[in-house]
Amino acid sequence: MSIVKRFITESIKRTEIDEFLQKKLERAGYGGVNLSKTPLGTHVVVYAMRPGLVIGRGGETIKELASALEQNFKVSNPQISVPETEVPEFNAHVVANRVASALERGVHFRRAGFWALNQVMEAGALGAEIVISGKLTTERARFEKFKAGHFPIVGEPALRAMKTAEAHIQLKPGIIGVRVKIMPPDAYFPDKVTIIEPAPEEEQVVAPATPASTTPAQIAPKPEAEPEPEVQTKEVTDEPKPVAESKPEETKE
């Protein structure tokens, strides 16, 4: 099997499993599935608003799901875990199922769309879009779009961060489709620039360095200063020179 065919078959299998679980766990508030292969088998993560209905009494429902996935979809050794959805308003599957169930109960489509949109935006989402299509008011099919906030339509954030889901219900006029797109608040935008201001510099007081402790043996004695010699001062005055006395000449014999 070529790589292209392998990816196509894997994608078809994931879609079939998603549709099967959506019908099976409708009452539990199904919120999507994630499949990942491990050395021990296949790890299946099922998101739901009420995990207790997915697990069942003594784990009966989850065992039935594991056997159905292994027999019908050829999933090798499925290991199912059911984490609880913390914020249901950020899960596109949950919002789409809520709108679909409201339409099935007879709620007007505009009221159901605005109600779900307000709940998503009040939860803190950056943007949301809900599209309801089908025979809404007349025999001619059309769609109604409810949009709020900001979210990109194309690009990397739209492919990676945006959460999308679809739900279909059968009413008397025909099939009604609900498509939901939600941009969560933790989405990353490459073109968003954040400016970090430098912290104010604080004046640092430098303490004087303390000399290291030294032993008395390490301290060399300072040489004593020699006393300076005393300088005798004598006053010099100009005195008259004495006149030399004339000596008597010696007589010759």
Task: Give the Cα separation of 131 and 171 in Å (integer).
Answer: 17
Confirm if 46 and 82 have CB atoms less than 8 A apart: yes
**pLDDT tens digits along 45-92:** 888 878 888 888 888 888 888 888 888 888 888 888 888 777 888 888
How many CB atoms are closer than 10 A to CB 26?
14
Task: Give me the residue label for tokens 């779900």.
Answer: 116
- Tell me which residue of 163, 156, 218 sits closest to 191, measured CA to CA: 156
Query: Which of 5-9, 130-134, 163-167, 206-210 is predicted with the least confidence, judged by mean pLDDT?
Result: 206-210
Q: What average pLDDT score do residues 22-30 get?
A: 80
Higher pLDDT among residues 243 and 181, named by residue: 181
Confirm if 128 and 120 have CB atoms less than 8 A apart: yes
Q: Which amino acid is at 108?
A: H
Query: Which of 64-73, 98-107, 158-167, 195-204 is predicted with the least confidence, judged by mean pLDDT?
Result: 195-204
Q: How confident is the model at residue 6 (pLDDT cuts 50, 70, 90)?
A: confident
Look at residue 226 in the predicted model and tell me its pLDDT.
64
**pLDDT tens digits along 128-161:** 999 999 998 888 999 999 999 887 888 888 888 8
**pLDDT tens digits along 201-250:** 776 666 666 655 555 555 555 666 666 666 565 655 555 555 555 455 54
Helix (H) or strand (E) holding 80: strand 78-81
Q: 120 pairs with which residues across the strands? A: none
Q: What is the pTM of this model?
A: 0.64
Higher pLDDT among residues 210 and 115, named by residue: 115
Look at residue 182 in the predicted model and tell me its pLDDT.
92
Q: Is the pLDDT of residue 39 over 90?
A: no
Q: Is the pLDDT of residue 166 over 50?
A: yes
Q: What average pLDDT score do residues 20-41 get?
A: 82
